[in-house]
Amino acid sequence: MTAVRTPSSLANHPKIKRLAMHLGESVPSVLGRVMLLAWWAADYAKGDDITRYDYDIEDAARWIGSPRDFTSALFKSAILTTDEEGHIYLSGFRYDGENDCFVFDLND
């Protein structure tokens, strides 16, 4: 089992609130979806670069809306970002080798 550490401030982070607005869902619902995505990234992507899994993102978060709406909202909220080479990253998600866990902190 892979641990994902998050700060308590995640629930009130502006990116989470923005995602809730874009999706028309409550903050608790969106927070759950984002945490499902983080746990999935830790287990399957093994890090922040989720480029090769981009078609699995909605499923990982248990999104049941229109296809790609969730991913689009993640980009609009800056929870997902891309680099100049087009790689897709989960913002604030990194491996902490000292504590042998992943950290998901949108403030990073």
Global pTM value:
0.90
Range of the domain at 93: 4-104
Q: 108 with 90: CB under 8 angstroms?
A: no
Query: Is the pLDDT confidence value at 98 over 70?
Result: yes
The pLDDT of 64-87, averaged and rounded, is 91
Residue 101 has pLDDT above 90, yes or no: no
- Residue pair 31/10 in contact (Cβ under 8 Å)? The answer is yes
| Number of domains within the chain | 1
Which DSSP state fits 42? I
Which of residues 55 and 91 earns the better pLDDT score?
A: 91
- The position carrying tokens 């090769």 is 52
Q: d(Cα 61, Cα 25) in Å, to the nearest integer?
A: 13
